[in-house]
Amino acid sequence: MRELALSGAIAIGFALVSYYATRGPSGGELGWYGWANLVYGVAALVIAAAFASRRARGFGSPAARRVLLPRLLWIIAVVVVAVGLENLAVRFGGRLDWTTDARFELSPATLAACDALPGPARVAHFAEGNDPRSRRTRYLLQTFEGLGCFEVRERDVDSAHEELDWYGVTTPDSVVVELGDYFELVERATEGSLLEALLRLSGNPEKTLYVAIGEGEGDLRDSGPNGYSGLREALAGEGYVLKSLVTLAAREVPDDADALLVIAPQRPLHADAQASIQRYVERGGRLVALLEPGLDSGLAPLLAEFGIDVSPGLVVDGRFADLEGTARGTGLLVSAYANHAITQGLKARHMSFFPGVRSVLAARKPQPEDRLGPVVFSSREAWESTDIEPARRGIEPRRNDEPLSRFSIAAAGQYPRGSAEGRLVVFGDAEFASNRWLRALYNVDLILNSIHWAAERETAITLRPKVLTPDHAPLPPQTTLQMLYGVGLMVPEFLLIAGAIVWVRRRSG
């Protein structure tokens, strides 16, 4: 029975490790691995205790006390030290965060927004009794308050009827953020939603971003999984005023354009449109192009003029399975970033997901003073395929004699022309910024930072709060952690239980 009790204690310990390492300030789930360990651990301890109670008469003997008392004192000492350290850390504002994505720490974007405030924002948290969501929200608000970002007051929804009507609060656990004469209602408080409220209240410096339309480009008004309304909302929150540019009708890109965004044209842009975009970049304009594999956007000749070659093939990495409907090997998880302002803060542990991407090569400098280079790479185990249409139907691309190599899948260039400087950012995929994939991993950081860099807003480049995206993301940070704790921890757990059983039996023998 000692072996059973020890294995139960180990199982409970691993359940707690998996829970605390995968949850964040906005809450989390124990997961199947944690629940399995918790149920087994409790059951094992109960069964072991039941059997041990039958032999409890010997516990009061002097020999039993000599064995049990030192161990009991050790347990009490460990608990006292642990509680003491926790209280000491709380008193001095310390916190240990060993999670992969530092989920118990505010993101750089949130810290920057707090620093930019003229003073603490006034925050009212409308809580309801024993609602567990209120405890999580209260913890998150205390984190903001500790930075001097918020002044928080707790309000009971049962007694604050006038305030509820004034602010339009309809659900418990809502948060109202006030700055000056304006307020924002946040019905589901997460770090990301509070950051967006702060940005709207503080008023970001506005930039005008034109979005090309007319040739079947991605629709920023479409809220479906293949639409780009999420990107539109993210850009608006970052201070961009979005305007449409009908490329076929416009003779020139307007002078008030801080940047032009082209998302996956389904048909080639007209020659006049290509010429107008080229003139725009040459006079100091900025272009961000998201190009889908297998689609002729008509931009390839224009990009070649600026030293960027776009391959018609599909980059394949056979190490990756058929993630969320992509053909095997075509959905790429990438973690190799060039040393560029766009990728500031992105390290090897910050993965992005491209559900089908072509290579984009910074091939040559048109003029000696131009600067261009890659931004994002595939792994070194990738190869190129022309089986694009079969891949869209879920058929794995065939590999013949194609060599394995590392491919650049995004590139950026700077083109000084007189007193102005044109900028280009080209991605070999557009779907990574669609509603389905935008919040997967670090996709949103990659696309927004690329637009910031193109529009010469380098100070806005940052890493944003991560969110749970169980419905659409193949492997968001939290899911990858749950996979680690659900599979990766099984091996050490089983080894530890086996070792403990062997140790107990040898001590008994």
Q: Could you report the per-residue pLDDT of 400-436, keeping only the tens digit for each? A: 888 899 999 999 999 999 899 999 999 999 999 999 9
The strand ranges marked E within 217-282 are 240-246, 259-263
CA 379-108-181 angle, to 5 degrees, is 140
Contact 425, 342 (CB under 8 A): yes
Output DSSP code: residue 458: G
Residues 6+ apart with CB under 8 A from 322: 328, 331, 394, 396
Please give the chain's pLDDT, 509 residues, in tens: 677 777 878 888 777 776 655 444 434 455 667 778 788 888 887 777 766 655 655 555 566 666 667 777 787 787 778 767 766 765 665 555 545 555 567 888 899 889 988 899 999 999 987 777 788 888 889 889 988 999 999 999 888 999 999 999 999 999 999 998 899 999 988 888 898 888 888 877 789 999 999 999 999 999 999 999 999 999 998 889 999 999 988 889 999 999 999 999 999 999 999 999 999 999 999 999 999 999 999 999 999 999 999 999 999 998 887 776 788 999 999 999 999 999 998 988 889 999 999 999 999 999 999 999 999 999 999 999 999 999 988 899 988 888 899 999 999 999 999 899 999 999 999 999 999 999 888 999 999 999 999 999 998 899 888 754 434 445 444 444 444 444 556 666 666 667 767 666 676 66
CA distance 373 to 422: 15
Q: Which residues pair with 153 in a beta bridge?
A: 124
C-alpha 375 chain-centroid distance: 18
Q: From CA 297, how far away is CA 35, in angstroms rounded? A: 50
Determine the straight-line distance between the first and last CA of the chain, rounded to whole angstroms. 15
Tell me if 351 sits within 8 A of 441, measured CB to CB: yes
Cα separation, 153 vs 126, whole angstroms: 9
Element (H, E) at 229: helix 229-237
Left, alpha or beta for 173 (phi > 0: left; psi -120 to 50: alpha)? Answer: left
- Segments of the chain assigned to CATH 3.40.30.10: 108-202
The residue type found at 409 is I
H/E segment holding residue 148? none
Please tell me whether residue 61 adopts helix, strand or coil conformation.
coil
Q: Where does 96-179 show beta strands of DSSP type E?
A: 121-127, 150-156, 174-179
**CATH 1.10.1060.10 assigned to 108-202:** no
Taking the C-alpha atoms of residue 207 and residue 456, their distance in angstroms, rounded to an integer, is 10
At 24-44, the pLDDT tens digits run 443 445 566 777 878 888 888
Q: Which residues contact 130 (CB under 8 A, 6 or more apart)?
A: none
The alpha helices in 380-476, defined as continuous H runs, are 388-392, 443-454
Domain 207-465 sits in CATH 3.30.70: no
> 367 and 415 in contact (C-beta within 8 Å)?
yes
**Identity of the amino acid at 401:** D
- Residue 468: the pLDDT is 46
- Could you give the residue range(s) of every CATH 3.40.50 domain in the chain? 207-465
- In sequence order, the 6+-apart residues with CB closer than 8 A to the CB of 202 are 113, 116, 117, 179
How far is residue 238's CA from residue 391's CA, in Å, rounded to a whole number?
35
The count of residues in the chain is: 509
Q: How many CB atoms lie within 10 A of CB 267?
A: 13
Q: Are 225 and 251 in contact (CB under 8 A)?
A: no
Name the DSSP class of 227.
Answer: S
φ/ψ of residue 468, rounded to 5: -75, 130
